[in-house]
Structure formats: C-alpha cells, structure tokens
Amino acid sequence: MGKPTGFMEYPRVVPISRDPRERVKDWKGLHEHLPEATLREQGGRCMDCGVPFCHSGQLIEGATSGCPLYNLIPEWNELVYLGRWREALDFLHKTNNFPEFTGRVCPAPCEGSCVLGINEPPVTIKNIEVAIADRGFEEGWIVPQPPTQRTGKKVAVVGSGPAGLAAAAELNKVGHSVTVFERADRIGGLLTYGIPEMKLEQAVVDRRVDILAEEGVRFEPNTEVGKDYPTAKLRNEFEAIVLCGGATLPRDLPTDGRTLDGIHFAMDFLTVSTRSFLDSEFEDGAFISAEDKRVVVIGGGDTGTDCVATSLRHGCKSLVQLEIMAREPDARSPDNPWPQWPKVHKIDYGQEEAAALFGADPREYAVSTKGFVANGDGRVGAVRVVDVLRTNGKFEEVAGSERELPADLVLLAMGFLGPEKAGLLTELGVELNDRGNVAVDEEKMTSEAGIFAAGDMSRGQSLIVWAIAEGRDAARGVDKYLMGRTAL
C-alpha cells in the first residue's frame, strides 16, 4: 500500500455534485473529478488489509460482493497515491476493458466489501477508477492497438452492449475477425439507450467504440439478426457466434386499466428520450414527453431513478416513485453483515433532484399498484394503490389504505424477465434454463456447438460490471473452441 497510515489520516472525499436545481436544466454530467492531490490521498486510504475483499467478485445472499472483474484495486490505488498514473491505467486495463463506463455507472460493489468499510467510510474506489481512465484518454495513453496478425477465424457478436463490446474487444485482441451486429441505430446497447446522457455521456461510449473500430472490430448498426440479416447466413458465414442481446423483455403490470394511453415501459420512455436528444436535442418531438405532466414511476431500482431524473429534465409538474419494498434502514442490520452488499437507505441522483425541486424524496415505500383509472378521454388519470406489509415473503394489503394518485404519465420500471424468445433464439434452437435465460456451460457455450452467450441474455438482469466480466469469459470460451487453447 502507498501510505500505511493513510486510512487513519485522510477522510473519505467524493466529488462535489452540481447543484440539483441547476443540473436538471441540462443533460450534462452530474459532477467533475476531484483534484489530483485529493485523488492521491484517497488512493492512500487503501489499507494493507491482507485479504482484499474488494476484488473478490462473488454473490452473497443474492447480491454482488466485491468486483466481478477481479479488478486489481489495491494495486492501482497504491499507484495513484504514488502519482504513477500510467502504470495504474495498465493495471486497470488488465481486468477491465471499459473502466470509463464502470467508473461512472457501476454501483460499486467493491466499495461495499472494502475492509476499511467495516468501521469507517470505504475507499472511493469508483471515483479513482474513472479518474484513471479519463486521464488515460486525456494524456493520449489509450490508443488503438490492433493485433499484429489475424487467425483467419470469423466471429459474430450479436448485441453491442457491455457484454458484446467486451467479447468483441477480447476476441479481436487475439486476432479473430469480429463483426458486431446491433439492431439499434447506434452502437452501445444498454450503454447508449438504457442509461441517460447525464449519467453516461454518449461521447464517452463513442470514444471507446471508435478505438475498437480502429483496432479492427467491424460494427453493423441497424441490423437485426433474424430480420435484416438471416440467421442461416449468420451460421454459415461465422465460425462462432456470441449472443449478447441482453434481457430486454420487461416485466408488465397486467391490471385494470393497463391499456390506457399514457402508460409506458421505462425502457421505451428512456430510449426515445435519449434518441431524440442525440438526434436533435428534442427538436424533432419524437419522444414521450413528461412536460407539465403528473408522473408516477412504478419501480425503485436504477431504471426507475433514471426515469425520475429524465422526467424532471423534461419539466414534469409532479413526480411520485412507488416501491413495493419497505424503506431500508439507515445502517446495516444484523442480518446484513459485511462483506455483503449494504442494504441501506440511499438517495440517488434522481431522488436528490426531485427533493430539491418539490421539497421531498419522491419515493413512497411498501406500496402496491391495484390498477389504473381513466381520465374520461382514454388516457390514464390516476393510479390506484394500497399499502402492503411483507410477512414471510408474502405481501398483504393494509386494510383501509387504498387511495388514488393523480397521474398523466405512468412509467413501469419493474425489471426484466429475460431475453426476447421469438426470432433469433428460436431460430438458433438454443436451450433456455428454468429462468428463461439462454442456458450456457462453464465456457459460456450454449446447447448449440459454436454458439455462446453472455451478459444479461444468459445471466438475467444484472450489473454492467457482470456483463463485461461475462463478455470476457465468453471470449475465452470462443478462443478455446476455435484454437484448441487460449491465452485470454
């Protein structure tokens, strides 16, 4: 470690966020980097803990503990403290193809399992990570590095999200010719249309995609395999296929009034908003506007928070976010010990902004939706809800608590049920597991020889860091399948 007593001398410091009242007026980033001197001190807080749980990468009680990429966190923390930024970047890239993505949008399970976090605020791992990556671009250290020779093997990657890009990067690195197919008009998948601009700028995604293209990865946007590009042709032209189409089947809420106008899936809302912003800064009007509307977001996860923040930037009249789970405690409960992911109450950027504008956190906890009420014109006018109590894993309604919440726009952000089954997966004939995801073995190969799957398509809805890890795992499996061995 860089400074043996650093964790005792330096307090945890995080970047100062822009004023919520100001940042909702634009789509720029939420905060800036810390000064270099402060970042070095934060790296110096990393302690000689013996067993660094921060890069353990495991599931405990269903939640991620430590980094699934096994990032060499103590090593690059020390290098940052010593001011050896270029070496820190090299260590970071050993395990993570896209630290500029994870450093911005990963919820940082590494910090949740930081040993210092047992009794002190954990090391600011995520902020140090993105600072290393961005400095690498600023200094010109991150440049295209095409392979010196090609293997003659052709690999297709279907889907250009974090799993697909990671698989493509690794396979291209060892000399395979990789083509990435993306049905959307831009490359990036979830990175582009699933995460709003203020949280992950498209320029950051494009910057890395451009490098991959210069390294030899071929990108085919506006190309849906099975529709624009025949599945049989895909199997005939490529020696291996990696499926990285994500878990894009949203969980619905089939209840009274569901077919009323004004009720949308969260991803539909976020996708058209981002596309309209990137195409014309909303001048084309091709998006679902929340302007002057009473918005109700159903779902309390990251996607729900992004809907909150996006609605605020549209100029909504009011906003309520419903969460069926009870409010989490302010500190770890006895049944949630370290190094488990800390299940504690947090205020994310969207809730912080809503509170600044409307005077209170928009979330209502332990609430279930009973139905939707029409406004008399074929549109939704209210959401009928009831308070619930969870007992032995089951939700029971609280008598006399039923009420209506005014709503002109309802966004369903209740998670995803896995990949879309019709089309590509059916035509390829790959088997699904009991959760409805693509079944894979330890090499990430499906039931069909030469066809692999990674990310949310095989894992189910998860974190970006898991998607990158799975894309790298699939690349190893593909390389071994094609070459008989692998150095990945």
Instruction: Measure CA 295 to chain center.
Output: 23
Domain stops at, among 112, 138, 164? 138
Residue 118 lies in a domain: yes
Please give the pLDDT value at position 393: 87
Residue 450 lies in a domain: yes
Written as six digits, the tokens of 65 are: 């503990």
Listed as own residue / partner, the contacts of 87-92 with beta carbons closer than 8 Å and 24 or more positions apart are 88/132, 89/132, 89/133, 89/135, 89/136, 89/141, 89/142, 92/129, 92/132, 92/133
Evaluate whether 187 touches 209 at the Cβ level (below 8 Å).
yes
Both 127 and 205 in a single domain? Answer: no
Both 339 and 387 in a single domain? Answer: yes
pLDDT in tens, the chain (488 residues): 778 999 999 999 999 899 999 999 999 999 888 999 999 999 999 997 888 999 888 999 889 999 999 999 999 999 999 999 999 999 999 999 999 999 999 999 999 999 999 999 999 999 999 999 999 999 999 999 999 999 999 999 999 999 999 999 999 999 999 999 999 999 999 999 999 999 999 999 999 999 999 999 999 999 999 999 999 999 999 999 999 999 999 999 999 999 999 999 999 999 999 999 999 999 999 999 999 999 999 999 999 999 999 999 999 999 999 999 999 999 999 999 999 999 999 999 999 999 999 999 999 999 999 999 999 899 999 999 999 999 988 999 999 999 999 999 999 999 999 999 989 999 999 999 999 999 999 999 999 999 999 999 999 999 999 999 999 999 999 999 999 999 99
Both 180 and 242 in a single domain? Answer: yes
Please give the pLDDT value at position 422: 87
Residue 311 lies in a domain: yes
- Count other C-beta atoms under 10 Å from residue 178's C-beta: 29
Both 29 and 121 in a single domain? Answer: yes
Both 116 and 219 in a single domain? Answer: no
Both 36 and 112 in a single domain? Answer: yes
Both 402 and 453 in a single domain? Answer: no
Both 35 and 94 in a single domain? Answer: yes
Which residues in 36-64 are b (16+ Cβ under 10 Å) and which e? Answer: eebbbbbbbbbbeeeebbbbbbeebeeeb
Reduced to 3 states, what is the DSSP secondary structure of residue 136? helix
Helix, strand, coil percentages in the chain from 3-state DSSP, rounded to 5: 35, 20, 45
Which residues in 384-414 are b (16+ Cβ under 10 Å) and which e? Answer: bbbbbeeeeeeeeeeeeeeeebebbbbbbbb
Residue with tokens 């590509």: 424
CATH number for the domain spanning 99: value is 1.10.1060.10
Both 397 and 292 in a single domain? Answer: yes
Task: Count Cα neighbours of 251 within 13 Å in the Cβ-side half-sphere.
Answer: 12
Please give the pLDDT value at position 48: 79
Residue 81 lies in a domain: yes
Domain stops at, among 391, 412, 433? 412
Question: Which CA distances in Å does 111 have to 74, 106, 121?
Answer: 12, 11, 9
Could you tell me the residue range of the domain that residue 171 belongs to?
154-248+417-483
CATH number for the domain spanning 307: value is 3.50.50.60
Residue with tokens 């049989």: 232
Is the pTM above the cut of 0.75?
yes
Residue 147 lies in a domain: no
Residue 87 lies in a domain: yes
Residue with tokens 């193809």: 97
Both 362 and 441 in a single domain? Answer: no
**Residue 408 per-residue DSSP state:** S
> Which residue, among 104, 108, 99, has the nearest Cα to 32 in the 3D structure?
104
Helices (H), 241-301: 266-280
Residue 24 lies in a domain: yes
Residue 258 lies in a domain: no
Written as six digits, the tokens of 199 are: 């949280």
**Residue 17 per-residue DSSP state:** B
Report how far residue 126's alpha carbon sits from residue 35's, in angstroms, rounded to the nearest whole number: 15
Q: How many domains does the chain have?
A: 3
Please give the pLDDT value at position 22: 96
Evaluate whether 323 touches 364 at the Cβ level (below 8 Å).
yes
Domain stops at, among 367, 397, 412? 412
Please give the pLDDT value at position 239: 98
Both 393 and 312 in a single domain? Answer: yes
DSSP labels, 411-447: EE---B--S--TTHHHHHT--B-TTSSBP--TTSB-S
Both 299 and 382 in a single domain? Answer: yes
